[in-house]
Structure 1
Amino acid sequence: MTATVPETAAAAPRRAWPPRLGRLLLATASGLALYLSFAPRDLWWLAPLAFTGLGLALHGRRVRAGLGLGFVFGLVFFLPLLVWLNDFLGAEFGPWPWLGLSVALAAYLGLAGGLVTVVSRLPGAPVWMAAVYIALETPRAWFPLGGFPWGRVAFSQPEGAFLPLAAVGGAPLVGFAVTLAGFGLAILLARSRRVRHPRALAGPALATVLPVVAGLALWPAVGAEPQSGTLTVAVVQGNAPDVGLALQGRRAELRANHLAESERLLADVRAGRVPRPDLVVWPESATDIRGSDPRLDRLVADFGVPFLVGGLYWLPDGTPQNVVVVWDPDTGRGARYAKQELVPFGEYIPARAIARLVTPFVDDTGDMRPGDGDPAALRVAGTVVGTIICYEAAYDYPARDAVRAGAELLTAPTNNAWYGPGEMSYQQLAMSRLRAVEHGRAVVVAATSGVSAIVRPDGGVARSTDLFTAASLVAEVPLRRATTLSDRLGAWPEYVLVGVAVAAALAGVAPGRRAGAPGGDTGHGGTDTAARPAG
């Protein structure tokens, strides 16, 4: 006797893979994978795989589901990436600033997830999916409340196959290449389950492989040799107590530590234990700069070489600026560069009425004055040195403007002592390594409490220090004059990606495309006959 299948069961649509819970878990795992690709871990290759997972989670979804899955991906990424904020703010603030910032940044990735589901219906989908994701890194650098560009995809790539692309199109191109490879692999895997003609896999396969091949092919072109001689540079890391926000009241201790470490370095130079430097670099906010400073004058004169001193400078009207100052052994204090990109809630208070609800120090905290837009380039020690102060490493234009102004070497003075022994210092060092390749310049990272480092123009770390130790580094670095294609293109790669993303999003919602258009063969002209659950 032959069993018969009820007509309703036979007609039931096949359940799409994966179910909702599976997609949620995949988005969660992918966000974690993206976090793990960031420093201090050397797992750069996890970043494209994170976008493969995200692409599979979003595959065939509608906008509403894309918004939710993208937000989960972003929240799982940002929460561990930014946990060091709790070391900075301390117990009196609780976890709310950290949670609030993570949620705000994750909202951008939620929007990216929703738009990815729209553009994934277009031919050539991996390109538009990657453009949408990277384009949304632009507005989150300025909104809300001053923006926060930490966690850009490119910052996960201080080494590896994608890094040489920084010399061509900067951080935007590196981020685009990583996401393109990841989304390409996602569509390749999704289509390969049911495609009848292998030729149809060519598009996503090319999107997966081409960014990797292009990056590897460019490695021989990454220049690191001196072009206008070398400079022996000393970095002084005086150290600071690990007290987070309480460091605000211990500036005298910070200054004393850097004076003491400089004197130890001077003793080593006189004893022949280390080479005599041509330039000494102090970190960000290592001293207050008010009027004359006989002790610092004497120290610089004893070295007989100029210093770059990071300090808090007080303008005649009493307003502070975060500056780097040239200190000459003969003429004393000279030219200075003032930081242009100030840290929201750290160096100025945006939206004070709102901040007052959660921050007890608003009424006692004045705003620093940003720089006036002059390039971060100072003439010192017979060359021009770019001075990218701390948070400015996360933005593209300060280092680019310095190189265009003639900088043959970049310095990155920073005060990371606020942020405890966590991952923040390593994340910031990764940015400097990317900038080295982007501009073809050595980068000298001077941190109050670590990690200080000498970075070669190819992004490699020649020497570095530990966290929360007093130490000095002395090394010979190449001076280079050639500009990279990234320097010459400027912000155009970013503008193009934003324009492409907007055009793709408009095309995805254009009349003639069904709002629930299938996405299984997304981006390659096919259709997906598999049933798709709502949402």
Structure 2
Amino acid sequence: MTVLAARPANEGPDERESPRSRGRSVLVRLRPVLLAVAAAVALILAFPPHDLWFLAPVGVAAFALATHGRRTRSGAALGFLTGAILFGVMLTWTSTQAGRMPWLLLSGLQAAYLAAQGAAAAYTSPLVVRRPWLIAPVTAVLWTLQEALRGRVPFGGFPWGRLAFSQGDSPLLGFAAVGGAPLVTFATALVGGLLVALFMIFTAPGSRTGRAGFTASSLKRAAAVTGAAVLTVVAGLAVPTTAPRGRAVTVAIVQGNVPRLGLDFNAQRRAVLDNHVNGTLELARRVAAGEAAKPDLVVWPENASDIDPLRNPDAARLISEAADAVDAPILVGTLGQAADPEKIINVGQVWHPSTGPGERYIKQHPVPFAEYVPFRSLARKVTDKVDLVRRDFAAGDRPGVLQLGPARIGDVICFEVAYDGIVRDTVLAGGQILAVQTNNATFNVAEAEQQLAMVRLRAVEHGRDALMASTVGVSGFVDAHGRVYGATSFFTAAVVIRELHIDNRRTLATRLGAGPEYLFVAGALVALVAAALVRRRAKTEEEQ
């Protein structure tokens, strides 16, 4: 690190300093802030709806450069700046119904994790002073540590915005089949760290032979770092993804759409149910006319029937009419009564032709402040929007594996797709096709596309064909290579049909579970301890 001698306090600015020099000096002082902002912008563009996945390593590199060599407090401030911009933009959809305050609080909480990462990056800077290449693995493990914490704390965490979820079209997506989302994040951050290492090699004192070029040593180190970056990308392409080899089943997704304006709550619920029933009846008509393939199973989205068909005969009659007409079982997103009479449950309910209700899955991870309100009296002092959640949702305690016609469906509901363990549990319990039931009606298309990106990663991670069924969009199918088919438009009624394949094989990522993430977290802790030892030794040498 370069140490700049401070000008004595009694000396004024150098009167001979040119305007160009003063401008350069200001730019040098602002460089960390500009890099922190650039990191946020690059990361925003890497995620849906922009999908410029190659900017994710660039954002990581800009973040690492901004925080490298800074004091711990400065690193934290720069990290918070990046996080506030990143999550403030990415999570704007949270304000569409709940207002600005919850959006600002959630964005600020997520930014605090990047602040901690920025502090850790600054703290570990002494490790890479003499070995610039070390900044790549250190950056990668710190980024993975930050995501591991953010995805668990508080209230079960909020894993939105993980680097892995930006890599749907990237060569690095293949790593999901080996180590899941943590390995994809690690690889993405590693490439970003290697970009920083390359920059540091070429800007280090003694790297140049003069105006003629760089030293042979600098060029060799740069070639090695470049080779490591290329090797990482090629390795991602070379990872064999597991495609299902079992029998094909025909699956239909019914996206019924919802009324946007003009109806009160009860009328809206009935209208949404009617839309999904009518969409299914129209599908049955097309099948009978030979215009569409007959589905083996049908999937409705979360909240397709917020009228509990187990307690409301009229809703049960309508759903039975739809299932009988299409002659296939339907996975219905609905609500139900919890064992606690004060609470309700979010349910994926199987509904068979002729016989009616079958197995059901109860959502295991209700969303805090959206499906239940922790510390309600305290939260009400921040915003009265918490009272929109009139009754808390109870959590289920079993993976969502349901027999739906010829296939065992691994069902997860809405935001659960962001949580590694919940999705993995459905596969371990026998899920052959991944189904994500969601309701995006209170958000926007950016949120829906961000969620679909998670489905893409999960399909590769577990070697399963997958689908996402939304009330309003985006709905669609994803194959085990992460490719999307039949994606619907937003706020439209649609029915999409595709053959998916079932399989019971497990990828290495499925078998390893959180093992790779624990390894990276251990690496981050080793880096922090090593930095503490280096700092302690440097302090001792100074005192001597």
TM-score in same-fold range (> 0.5): yes
SS of the aligned residue for 2:346 comes to strand
**Residue 128 of structure 1: aligned partner:** 138
**Residue 524 of structure 1: aligned partner:** none
Is 1:144 aligned to 2:168, yes or no?
no
Letter in 2 for 1:455: V
Shift of 1:398: 1.7
Shift of 1:222: 1.5
Question: Separation in 2 of the partners of 1:98 and 1:244?
Answer: 26
Q: 1:222 aligns with which of 217, 235, 241?
A: 241
Q: 2:297 aligns with which of 279, 295, 306?
A: 279
Gaps of 5+ in 2: 1-10, 18-23, 129-133, 208-214
1:413-468, Cα deviation, whole Å (9 max, x unpaired): 10011113x41001001100111111111111110000000111111012111000
Shift of 1:513: 3.9
SS of the aligned residue for 1:333 comes to strand
Question: Separation in 2 of the partners of 1:245 and 1:487?
Answer: 45
Contact 1:227 / 1:481 at 8 angstroms: preserved in 2? no
Question: Separation in 2 of the partners of 1:65 and 1:143?
Answer: 24
Contact 1:237 / 1:283 at 8 angstroms: preserved in 2? yes
SS of the aligned residue for 2:381 comes to coil
Question: Separation in 2 of the partners of 1:202 and 1:163?
Answer: 25
**Residue 443 of structure 1: aligned partner:** 466
**Residue 166 of structure 1: aligned partner:** 176
Question: Separation in 2 of the partners of 1:66 and 1:492?
Answer: 29
Question: Separation in 2 of the partners of 1:50 and 1:254?
Answer: 41
Is 1:306 aligned to 2:329, yes or no?
yes
SS of the aligned residue for 1:137 comes to helix
Residues 478 and 34 from structure 1, CA distance in 2 versus in 1: closer, same or farther, beyond 3 angstroms? Answer: same
Matches within 5 A, 1:24-423: 24-89=33-98, 93=99, 95-122=100-127, 124-194=134-204, 195=207, 196=215, 197-198=217-218, 199-201=220-222, 204-218=225-239, 221-224=240-243, 226-242=244-260, 250-287=268-305, 288-289=307-308, 290-291=310-311, 292=313, 293-315=316-338, 317-318=340-341, 319-363=343-387, 365-372=390-397, 374-420=398-444, 422-423=445-446
Letter in 2 for 1:39: P
SS of the aligned residue for 2:415 comes to helix
1:339-395, Cα deviation, whole Å (9 max, x unpaired): 1111111111122232111232445622101111x1221122122110011110110
Letter in 1 for 2:272: L
Contact 2:400 / 2:426 at 8 angstroms: preserved in 1? yes
- Structure that is richer in helix per residue: 2
1:1-56, Cα deviation, whole Å (9 max, x unpaired): xxxxxxx99xx9xx999622122112101111101100122311010011111122
Contact 1:509 / 1:515 at 8 angstroms: preserved in 2? no
Question: Separation in 2 of the partners of 1:88 and 1:153?
Answer: 27
Shift of 1:145: 4.7
Letter in 1 for 2:37: T
Contact 2:249 / 2:406 at 8 angstroms: preserved in 1? no
Question: Separation in 2 of the partners of 1:17 and 1:190?
Answer: 21
Question: Separation in 2 of the partners of 1:496 and 1:365?
Answer: 42
1:154-190, Cα deviation, whole Å (9 max, x unpaired): 1111121110000000000001110111011112112
Letter in 1 for 2:327: G
Letter in 2 for 1:31: A
Letter in 2 for 1:122: L
SS of the aligned residue for 2:504 comes to coil
Structure 1 residues 232-241 or 137-146, which shifts more? 137-146
1:240-299, Cα deviation, whole Å (9 max, x unpaired): 134699868722221111111111111111111110000000000111223341221222
Question: Separation in 1 of the partners of 2:421 and 2:539?
Answer: 39
Residues 248 and 418 from structure 1, CA distance in 2 versus in 1: closer, same or farther, beyond 3 angstroms? Answer: farther
Residues 240 and 202 from structure 1, CA distance in 2 versus in 1: closer, same or farther, beyond 3 angstroms? Answer: same
1:50-108, Cα deviation, whole Å (9 max, x unpaired): 1111122223222122111111111111111011112132xxx3x22211211111111
Tell which has more relative contact order, 1 or 2 (C-alpha 8 A, sep 6+): 1
Q: 2:479 aligns with which of 448, 451, 456?
A: 456
Contact 1:55 / 1:187 at 8 angstroms: preserved in 2? no
Gaps of 5+ in 1: 1-7, 518-535
Contact 1:241 / 1:468 at 8 angstroms: preserved in 2? no
Question: Separation in 2 of the partners of 1:425 and 1:516?
Answer: 54
SS of the aligned residue for 2:349 comes to strand
Contact 1:88 / 1:245 at 8 angstroms: preserved in 2? no
Structure 1 residues 169-178 or 318-327, which shifts more? 318-327
**Normalised TM-score (structure 2):** 0.87
Is 1:478 aligned to 2:498, yes or no?
no
Question: Separation in 1 of the partners of 2:263 and 2:31?
Answer: 42
Is 1:23 aligned to 2:47, yes or no?
no
Letter in 1 for 2:381: L
RMSD, aligned α-carbons = 2.7
Residues 253 and 245 from structure 1, CA distance in 2 versus in 1: closer, same or farther, beyond 3 angstroms? Answer: closer
Letter in 2 for 1:64: R
Shift of 1:491: 1.0
Letter in 2 for 1:222: T
Question: Separation in 1 of the partners of 2:147 and 2:251?
Answer: 35
Task: Give aligned pairs, total.
Answer: 501
SS of the aligned residue for 1:324 comes to strand
Question: Separation in 2 of the partners of 1:336 and 1:356?
Answer: 33
**Residue 528 of structure 1: aligned partner:** none
SS of the aligned residue for 2:127 comes to coil
